[in-house]
């Protein structure tokens, strides 16, 4: 990690930002949020995966491991660039302010981005054209496959690639050459949209870094089956001759789920990836590290061992553990990148072997306070925290702290919480935030819902719920809430303010 001393920050996905067009975007709302973070003494803005979502709107099941979510492109900034006019946006639908209604958002943004592309082509701007061409040249290794993949999906009424004609499904060179000519305009449009996303995101990241804010990104270990990555590199996955998975990812049965979790992502053929030095992974990590400063790897334990489920099985019960790439993978990454700015998502049932893999490379793990209250030996309790970790009150998959306390915490657990803290709990939200802030953990990150003291209705994701996730948003007034003063004061009290970091650690400050 690239932190000096103690730090704190906020977990908020960009879709949850304020904005006029139905979803948070990379415009003024994002810049105001960066200013808000800096004013409250925060050093970190953590986001979820930034890729283009598909059915279900989950950022953890995207069409590409490289491409950006074009719904995040600021339409107002396209007006500033001369690619749209204020008149183009004048008839925007009356979008709800407190949630993203993707059924409205996606068609509107599609129309506006198509109009911007037409303007870009019909009235070329020399500087913009040069920037676009440079982006395309530097990103061909993923952009060409992705742009063609999207064009073909649209030509096939968004059906998965395994339902395309066999020549396209199997990437016959003659068929691909034909498709590249047939859908040239659509392909160029996708290149254009990805350039817009990267241009706006890069400007936002630069601004955040100038204001002392580091961006923490999120990288799911597995990719979606219906993605450009799997279609383009089919030999890297356990697939049959028709492209269907023969084995899929998940986790075994546990206390929370008697049938486990069958995620359905195709599994990597790690020995194939090792043969070329994990080239695709290196490309993926290098690319993401242009967008963020530190990467949280979701389901880190899969690098040590993963749960292999036969694709014919309807649940995760009849799976088996198989060895992951382990130390060899991270040694290859370290050799190429020179450092590992990675956080290991080490939640769930973690073995000593997983802990050793994490610790041998000095990777900070995660401590989630909502999971802490069982017994004094619980590793998530603050007295068991090591410095080299990140503490959270909750994550995007948890209830909000208030919702958790009101609807999920039993009486005996409440009693343990109060016994541990040494007092009755009257405000669980800030009690838990204070507990995280005073932890020895290098960084404390609070979901924005907890900062605002919101209940279960503000939950970002409820795993297993087929609809209604990923839609929560803040509004402009939330950034004026007096609660910001409490956050700023607490950040200083527990020496997590940027001004205090050098003083706290002196010349020995080395990050983690």
User: Which residues form the catalytic set?
Assistant: 298, 345, 397
Q: Are 28 and 49 in contact (CB under 8 A)?
A: no
Q: What is the DSSP letter of 235?
A: G
Token digits for 222? 């597995």
Token digits for 297? 């790897």
CB atoms under 10 Å from CB of 301, counted, come to 25
* Lookup result for tokens 């930034």: 50
Q: What is the DSSP letter of 52?
A: P
Q: How far is CA 200 from CA 28, 30, 207, 253, 309, in A?
A: 11, 11, 11, 42, 40
Give long-range contacts, CB 8 A cutoff, 24+ apart: 160-168.
160/225, 160/226, 161/226, 161/230, 161/231, 161/243, 162/225, 162/226, 162/242, 162/243, 162/244
Q: Are 52 and 72 in contact (CB under 8 A)?
A: no
Contacts of 49 (CB under 8 A, 6+ apart): 59, 60, 62, 217, 218, 219, 220
Residue 397: which region, alpha, beta or left (left: phi > 0; alpha: psi -120 to 50)?
alpha
DSSP E strands, 204-287: 214-220, 247-251, 261-266
Alpha helices (runs of H) in 99-183, residue ranges in sequence order: 102-122, 126-138, 140-155, 166-169, 173-182
Q: What is the DSSP letter of 361?
A: T
CA angle, residues 202, 204, 205, in degrees to nearest 5:
65
DSSP E strands, 252-328: 261-266, 294-298, 305-310, 320-323
Q: Are 222 and 262 in contact (CB under 8 A)?
A: no
Q: How far is CA 124 from CA 61, 121, 476, in A?
A: 35, 6, 35
Q: Are 390 and 380 in contact (CB under 8 A)?
A: no
Q: Are 95 and 21 in contact (CB under 8 A)?
A: yes
Q: Are 370 and 425 in contact (CB under 8 A)?
A: no
End-to-end CA distance of the chain: 5
Q: Are 357 and 324 in contact (CB under 8 A)?
A: no
Q: Are 60 and 298 in contact (CB under 8 A)?
A: yes
Q: How far apart are CA 132 and CA 122, in angstroms?
A: 15
């Amino acid at each position: 990690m690239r932190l000096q001393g103690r730090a704190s920050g906020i977990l908020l996905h960009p879709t949850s930002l304020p904005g006029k067009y139905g979803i948070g975007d990379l415009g003024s709302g994002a810049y105001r949020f960066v200013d808000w973070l800096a004013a409250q003494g925060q050093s970190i803005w953590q986001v979820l995966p930034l890729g283009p979502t598909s059915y279900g709107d989950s950022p953890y099941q995207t069409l590409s491991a490289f491409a950006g979510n074009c719904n995040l492109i600021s339409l107002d900034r396209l007006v500033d660039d001369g690619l749209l006019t204020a008149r183009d946006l004048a008839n925007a639908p009356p979008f709800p302010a407190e949630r993203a209604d993707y059924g409205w958002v996606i068609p509107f943004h599609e129309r506006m981005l198509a109009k911007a592309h037409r303007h870009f082509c019909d009235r070329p701007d020399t500087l913009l054209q040069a920037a676009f061409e440079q982006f395309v040249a530097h990103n061909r290794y993923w952009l060409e496959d992705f742009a063609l993949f999207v064009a073909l999906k649209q030509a096939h009424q968004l059906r998965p690639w395994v339902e395309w004609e066999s020549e396209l499904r199997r990437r016959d060179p003659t068929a691909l050459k034909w498709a590249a000519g047939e859908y040239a305009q659509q392909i160029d449009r996708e290149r254009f949209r990805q350039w817009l996303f990267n241009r706006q995101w890069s400007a936002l990241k630069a601004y955040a870094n100038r204001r002392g804010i580091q961006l923490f990104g999120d990288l799911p270990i597995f990719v979606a089956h219906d993605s450009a990555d799997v279609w383009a590199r089919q030999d890297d996955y356990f697939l049959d001759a028709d492209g269907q998975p023969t084995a899929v990812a998940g986790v075994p049965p546990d206390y929370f789920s008697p049938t486990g979790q069958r995620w359905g992502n195709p599994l990597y053929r790690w020995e194939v990836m090792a043969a070329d030095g994990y080239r695709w992974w290196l490309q993926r990590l290098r690319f993401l590290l242009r967008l963020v400063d530190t990467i949280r790897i979701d389901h880190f334990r899969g690098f040590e061992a993963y749960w292999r489920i036969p694709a014919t099985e309807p649940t995760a019960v009849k799976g088996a553990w198989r060895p992951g790439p382990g130390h060899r993978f991270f040694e290859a990454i370290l050799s190429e990148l020179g450092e590992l700015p990675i956080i290991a998502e080490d939640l769930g049932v973690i073995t000593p072997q997983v802990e050793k893999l994490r610790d041998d490379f000095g990777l900070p793990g995660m401590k989630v306070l909502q999971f802490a209250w069982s017994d004094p030996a619980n590793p998530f309790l603050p007295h068991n925290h090591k410095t080299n970790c990140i503490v959270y009150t909750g994550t995007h998959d948890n209830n909000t702290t208030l919702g958790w306390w009101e609807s999920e915490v039993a009486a005996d657990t409440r009693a343990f919480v109060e016994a541990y803290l040494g007092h009755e709990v009257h405000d669980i939200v800030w009690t838990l935030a204070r507990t995280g802030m005073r932890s020895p953990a290098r960084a404390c990150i609070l979901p924005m819902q907890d900062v605002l003291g919101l209940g279960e209705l503000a939950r970002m994701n409820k795993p297993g719920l087929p609809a209604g996730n990923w839609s929560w948003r803040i509004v402009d007034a939330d950034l004026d809430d007096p609660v910001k003063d409490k956050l700023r004061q607490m950040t200083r009290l527990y020496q997590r303010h940027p001004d205090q970091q050098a003083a706290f650690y002196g010349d020995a400050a080395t990050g983690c």
